Amino acid sequence: MFSLSTDRPLPGTAMRSRREILRIGSMGGMLGGLQMASKLQAIEKASQSGGMSGIMLFLVGAPSHIDTFDPKPDAPLEIRGPYKTISTAVSGIRVTEILPQVAKQADKFSIIRSVNFQAAAVHDTGHQLMQTGRAFSGGIEHPHIGSALNFLNPGADEIPGHVLIPRPIGKTGGNQPHGQSGGYLGRKYDPFVLGTDPSNPNFKVPDLLPPDFLGDVRVDRRKKLREVVEDHLKLAESSMAGKQTRESFDQAFRIMSSPGTREAFDLHKEPDSIRDRYGRTRFGQSCLLARRLVERGVRFVTVNMFETVFDEVTWDIHGSRPFTDINEMAKLVAPSFDQGYSALLEDLAQRGLLSKTVVTAMGEFGRTPKINPAGGRDHHPGCWSILLSGGKIRPGQVVGSSDELGYAPKSRPANPQMIAATIYKALGVNPHTELAGPQGRPMPLVDHSVEPLNELFGG
């Protein structure tokens, strides 16, 4: 992943040696000409998105569906939990009381209450499945939905096609990929990573500052960086890996030098009232930054609400240390989401952007309906809820349902490939488009037998 910040290096982004340069250039890009030759064919098969953009709010840690969007008020206390339900802007749809501002925006999103998968209940697996539609297997890493969109419908050269903010997902208990890369499409389609917290009062993207504000030291450092990379690339110029690395670095340098891109990242241009509406939290300001980016032509933005499930209060509410419990979640995590997500939908709608921006809010799985002895809920991929809005999604609906206690789907079960297919369709992309996967064999975005949740699309 390319980092747009220099405040600290991200794992895997520092170019340290000729071997590292070659490795970066070859990761996922060994198909070379096969992949590029297939691109025109793939684009012809894919429905053109007509400028549609996407924002994926990834709620790392996995929210409890029963404590948020699929309450069970008639279930026993150890199932229903401590929160009452409240009405929303849509008659018949209720959520819990910890999401009052989201409830007011319910006419802008739909809830899928029957998401599930059968794989291992570990964070990494859920991250992969929900962001790519497929699991990491046999050394094959599939592309993030935003990376696939960027491949099929690239934007302007000076604007990044897929941006990840604020930082990539880090350690969550496993050692598998998290599904936030370009996968077999190659490093060129990895998202550009902001790499810093936009809620910091002194937030700026160092390499995106206008030239007249750049000191001689910073300019000299940037020139030296390019010189170092150029020296390494000359050693590999004759190889496909070297050419791909040069192309990727040139793209990164062009984007980081673009006045338009620098302006898009400048949160200080937003009125204080808007920044306050989103909330001065990391998640709130990341949502605001996502709106600024899609407004200025970025095709897809992924926002990680957290980058780990350790050492801070997250949605991962096991109850016992180092995790939090249900009550603590409602004091910090839920209010941050409630404010940031509701502000994003409201802001996009007021600016006329929601009709052409698909917004997804989801975690990697659900949580056990029965509260554990520590006062928390554990991992549960058997059934949970996600939110979809914008673009071609018809809002104000509930698709699917869980059983009386929230353990399993009662109607319309939806697996990760169905969710991916639905997001692709909402973005205007044929979900069965075939790309040249590993060894050049055709690889559809989702299996041909998988269909989107078509009831989410209006006539």
Q: What pLDDT sits at residue 244?
A: 52
CA distance 415 to 96: 25
Q: What pLDDT sits at residue 4?
A: 61
Strand order in the sheet with 53-58: 2-3, 192-193, 162-165, 300-304, 53-58, 357-362, 384-389, 109-115, 398-399
CA distance 69 to 256: 39
CA distance 432 to 453: 14
Tokens in use for 253? 């340098």
Q: What pLDDT sits at residue 228?
A: 54
Tell me which residue has tokens 């949970």.
Answer: 384
Q: What pLDDT sits at residue 143?
A: 97
Mean pLDDT by 10 residues, the chain (459 residues): 55 39 38 45 48 95 98 98 98 98 98 97 97 92 96 81 94 90 92 93 66 42 55 54 56 69 90 98 98 95 96 92 90 97 98 97 98 97 98 96 98 98 97 90 95 90
Tokens in use for 439? 């060894």
* 8 Å CB contact between 89 and 104: yes
pTM to 2 decimal places: 0.86
Q: What pLDDT sits at residue 10?
A: 45
Segment holding 242, helix H or strand E: helix 240-256
Segment holding 443, helix H or strand E: strand 442-444
* 8 Å CB contact between 31 and 440: yes
What is the 3 state secondary structure string of 404-417? CCCCCEEECCECHH
CATH code at 2-456: 3.40.720.10
Rg (CA), the chain: 22
Q: What pLDDT sits at residue 421?
A: 98
Number of other residues whose CB lies within 10 A of the CB of residue 98: 21
Tokens in use for 433? 């488009």
Segment holding 87, helix H or strand E: strand 85-87
Omega of the bond leading into 259 within 30 degrees of 0 (cis): no
Domain range summary for the chain, segments of one domain joined by +: 2-456
Q: What pLDDT sits at residue 154?
A: 80
Strand partners, 362: 58
Tokens in use for 350? 């007021």
Backbone angles phi and psi of 20, in degrees to 5: -65, -40
* 357-369: b (≥16 Cβ within 10 Å) or e: bbbbbbbbbbbbb
CA distance 214 to 222: 10
DSSP reduced 3-state for 179: coil
* 8 Å CB contact between 96 and 86: yes
- Pair type for strands 366-367 and 379-380: antiparallel
